[in-house]
């Protein structure tokens, strides 16, 4: 099933050893960091998991083979370092650290790759799997998988943290790896999250310079891009500020929906090393960093306190009408194979796969469409040095206790889309009452037929408004044309669902 090959670059490097020894170091991307020699990233041993049961990851309902992709799973093992700081960790993110204790580990990765090597775009998107629920989920993949696949990227999900393997007493469901399939995953070993940063970058090293089994099965990675959402974005923040300067193995970062701080540099059972309550991305970072923010992130999770000016290597997008977690990411998007217009719909639904129920309908806004654009923009930024557009900031009131709203109830400012400029609903990233995690899911409140008619008169008026607002978002660089076409194609159906089906009409 798997092809065990060495990358061509590794072979060439070995052949040229006498000519250029430096190119064959443990870190094949050695670069000068302000005169300091970079530390080598250890290369783990890669193996195949036991052939027992299926790969465990709640990612998609669609058959990847039908959309030109295949999935595989690998185990990686080695010795990982924890880290300790060598100076005070300040809010500016200019943190210095050094390797500390070491421990043995054995984790897994899941790889989604194009079946046809000719479709590979050279970008490997390495997502730090989220474990907030007590098991692993891939929210960045869940939000942006359509564009990741359209572009031809490889996606890799990394079991970087202890809970994903061993679970916790507060798990939402007993779906951590050793509970989901003890025969397949029982041999995994995680020494604790203090070692997660090095485990994560060793996965990148195994992809860039494979030894033995190649996780990409012969594809050659041109760019390694780190992805992490929510708590994983907090861990990437700490990685960027404290650890990336030591190794520089990643070519860029997608910091997806973090709040105002980073994760601890070390934690129990080691001596805890907390990071500041507010942490900026260090401004001397040498690779592109795109921060993607929803309404929930900026206000409820406090990112407003960590706002910082854009630079040529740091961009922050704040997207109006969006929530930290939404219906597409966790429910409907699991069925999105080719980006059909129906995935542009705005509907009211208050449950997530039957095991989370919120009091109000969950946000069903434009998060996934703008995130698709962010995925595309970050790839271009890294590959072709094309700067992404700068995002307007969401508009806060004077004391920054709330947003400012338009006459209909949607937030002002931020990245504008037809969801808020030609709206059929109030879409917010506010706190939603209900089960655990509902506070992160925002709300949707559809306009009734009378309000739709007062705003647009008829179907033609609504379609015209959506078309104009959609084209404006494309022109601003925040919507891709393929997604814009789907939004416009869905507009007549959205009108009919809200107006023609209203029994009061």
**Average pLDDT score over residue span 324-331:** 97
Query: Quick one: CA dihedral 354, 356, 361, 364, positive or negative?
Result: negative
Higher confidence at residue 482 or residue 17?
482
Q: Reduced to 3 DSSP states, what percent helix, strand and coil does the chain have, rounded to the nearest 5? A: 35, 20, 45
pLDDT 10s digits, 380-402: 999 999 999 999 999 999 999 99
Q: Mapping DSSP to helix (H, G, I), strand (E, B) and coil, where does residue 171 land?
A: coil
CA–centroid distance for 141 within its chain = 6
DSSP reduced 3-state for 105 = strand
Query: How far, in Å, are 42, 152, 169 from residue 219 at the CA level?
Result: 21, 12, 40
When pLDDT is cut at 50, 70 and 90, the band that residue 36 belongs to is low
Each residue of 274-300: pLDDT tens digit? Answer: 999 999 999 999 999 999 999 999 999
pLDDT class for 355, splitting at 50, 70, 90? Answer: confident
Tokens of 281: 């991305």
Nearest to 3 by CA among 51, 45, 48: 48
Question: Using an 8 Å Cβ cutoff, are 78 and 40 in contact?
Answer: no
pLDDT at 9 exceeding the cut of 80: no
**Separation CA 318–CA 480 (nearest Å):** 17
This prediction has a pTM of 0.93
């Amino acid at each position: 099933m798997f092809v065990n090959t060495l990358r061509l670059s590794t072979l060439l490097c070995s052949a040229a050893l006498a000519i250029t020894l430096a190119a064959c170091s443990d870190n094949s991307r050695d670069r000068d960091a302000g005169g300091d020699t970079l530390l080598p990233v250890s290369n783990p041993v890669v193996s195949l998991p036991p052939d027992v049961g299926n790969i465990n990851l709640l990612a998609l309902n669609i058959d990847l083979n039908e959309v030109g992709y295949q999935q595989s799973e690998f185990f990686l093992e080695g010795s990982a370092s924890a880290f300790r700081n060598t100076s005070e960790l300040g809010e500016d993110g200019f943190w210095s650290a050094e390797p500390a204790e070491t421990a043995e580990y054995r984790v897994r990765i899941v790889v989604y790759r194009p079946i046809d090597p000719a479709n590979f775009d050279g970008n490997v998107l390495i997502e730090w799997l989220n474990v907030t629920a007590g098991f692993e989920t891939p929210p960045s993949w869940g939000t942006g998988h359509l564009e990741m696949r359209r572009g031809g990227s490889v996606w890799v999900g990394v079991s970087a943290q202890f809970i994903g393997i061993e679970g916790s007493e507060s798990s939402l469901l007993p779906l951590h790896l050793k509970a989901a399939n003890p025969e397949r995953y029982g041999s995994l070993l995680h020494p604790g999250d203090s070692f997660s940063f090095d485990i994560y970058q060793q996965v990148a090293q195994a992809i860039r310079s494979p030894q033995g089994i190649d996780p990409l099965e012969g594809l050659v990675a041109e760019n390694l891009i780190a992805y992490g959402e929510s708590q994983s974005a907090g861990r990437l923040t700490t990685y960027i500020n404290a650890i990336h300067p030591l190794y520089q193995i990643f070519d860029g970062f997608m910091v997806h929906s973090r709040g105002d701080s980073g994760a601890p540099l070390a934690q129990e059972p080691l001596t805890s090393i907390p990071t500041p309550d507010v942490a900026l991305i260090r401004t001397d970072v040498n690779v592109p960093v795109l921060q993607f923010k929803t309404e929930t992130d900026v206000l409820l999770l406090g990112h407003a306190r960590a706002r910082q000016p854009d630079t040529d290597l740091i961009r922050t997008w704040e997207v109006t009408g969006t929530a930290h977690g939404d219906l597409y990411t966790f429910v409907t998007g699991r069925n999105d194979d080719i980006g059909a217009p129906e995935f542009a719909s705005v509907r009211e639904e208050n449950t997530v796969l039957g095991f989370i129920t919120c009091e109000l309908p969950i946000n069903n806004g434009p998060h996934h469409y703008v995130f698709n654009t962010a995925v595309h923009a970050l790839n271009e930024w890294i590959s072709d040095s094309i700067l992404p557009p700068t995002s307007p900031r969401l508009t806060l009131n004077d004391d920054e206790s709330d947003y400012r709203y338009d006459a209909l109830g949607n937030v002002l400012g931020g990245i504008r889309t037809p969801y808020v400029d030609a709206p059929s609903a109030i879409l917010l990233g506010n706190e939603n009452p209900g089960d655990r995690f509902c506070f992160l899911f925002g709300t949707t409140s559809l306009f009734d037929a009378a309000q739709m008619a007062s705003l647009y008169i008829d179907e033609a008026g609504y379609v015209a408004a959506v078309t104009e607002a959609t084209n404006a978002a494309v022109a601003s660089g925040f919507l891709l044309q393929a997604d814009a076409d789907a939004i416009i194609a869905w507009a007549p159906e959205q009108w009919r669902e809200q107006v023609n089906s209203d029994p009061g009409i």
